[in-house]
Amino acid sequence: MRVTIEHLTDLITTKLHRAGLTEEHARIVADVLVHADARGYHSHGAMRVEYYAERISKGGTTHLPKFEFKKTGPCSAIFEGDNGAGHVVAKLAMDEAIKMAKENGIAVVGMRNLGHSGALSYFVQQAANADLVGLSVCQSDPMAVPYGGAEPYYGTNPIAFAAPGKDGEHIIIDMATTVQAWGKVLDARSKNRAIDDSWAVDANGAPTTDPFKVNALLPIAGPKGYGLMMMVDVLSGILLGVPFGNKVSSMYHDLTEGRKLGQLHIVIDPERFAGINAFKENIAQTMKDLNNLKPATGYDKVYYPGQRSGEREKKSIADGIEIVDHVYEYLTSDVIHNNNYDHKSPFAK
């Protein structure tokens, strides 16, 4: 089913508003989800709406959160999220980080007590759109085995980075520290597609291609991914005084309770270093250099990070977004949720 960006945004906004969010907050969440779908990150797009609607309707997301932005120094701050929708907290915190970085050259803003915030690319893109460099990291529930381990301890613990180039073109990296994000497994389940055997293991710790048999995810590049997972957990968990490691709340354990997650934005103003014009010129040159490299056998071109997602986004703006039929049917129905997620194992079917 192909729908326009505007129609999909309206459908998601309506569903989340009916679940209990204010219309303003529902539209921010919808904007982040549609951003993900438009760039091809369907694992973090409209397919997540029913989960959010169930958590919102059961009280696990605060409907009228009391946000508080507290400066702890000229370049540092804490954004208290009151277990509001994570997309809203992260978006508003990035707005504040951008102001702080413009004033002082750099901003480090920690968010605590927020819900799942979706695709981090949205927030670092905010920074790049303001001619700033953005980095964002956040926790997720323990679903990945550490290198050499047989049971989960860390989450997919994603990292996102963006740097502005010329003419609105940005380098954007958005990656899990596992081989794939859990949402990719959910996306494969929704489409009844096999997964690569390097993504995950089953209950016996053996690699699996069946998305319904996944019992834990694997870190990227073994010990290197494991180290990155730990780094993200320190910066977005221990540093902010929220639960960390395998103490991070499960996405599905109890949808009546807030998740108390942590996230961290770091924003840098290139004007204070190389100068914004020189910086953007050199980012643009980097993009051009990469595109002009000789591709390896089996590849048509060397792309810079975020380039293909950006091309998909432009196509989505022009032609609409393709979403699976059952997701569209849910969005257009009168059903708020089907009670599919509460108290379920994160690996449940």
- Terminal CA-to-CA distance of the chain, rounded, Å? 24
Report the C-alpha gap between 109 and 69 in whole angstroms: 9
Q: Which of 267, 283, 222, 223 is nearest to 100 (CA)?
A: 267
The active-site residue out of 35, 42, 44, 116 is 116
β-pair partners for 261: 114
Structure tokens at 26: 């529902």
On the CB side of 61, CA atoms within 13 Å amount to: 28
Task: For residue 253, indicate whether it is catalytic.
Answer: no
Q: Which of 78, 105, 115 is nearest to 93 (CA)?
A: 78
How many beta carbons lie within 10 A of that of residue 281, not counting itself? 14
Structure tokens at 197: 């055997």
The owner of tokens 């951008």 is 98
Cα torsion 179, 180, 181, 185: sign: negative
Angle (CA) 277-278-279 rounded to 5° is: 90
Q: How far is CA 277 from CA 166, 198, 267, 271, in A?
A: 9, 42, 17, 8
Report the C-alpha gap between 259 and 331 in whole angstroms: 25
Residues tagged active-site? 116
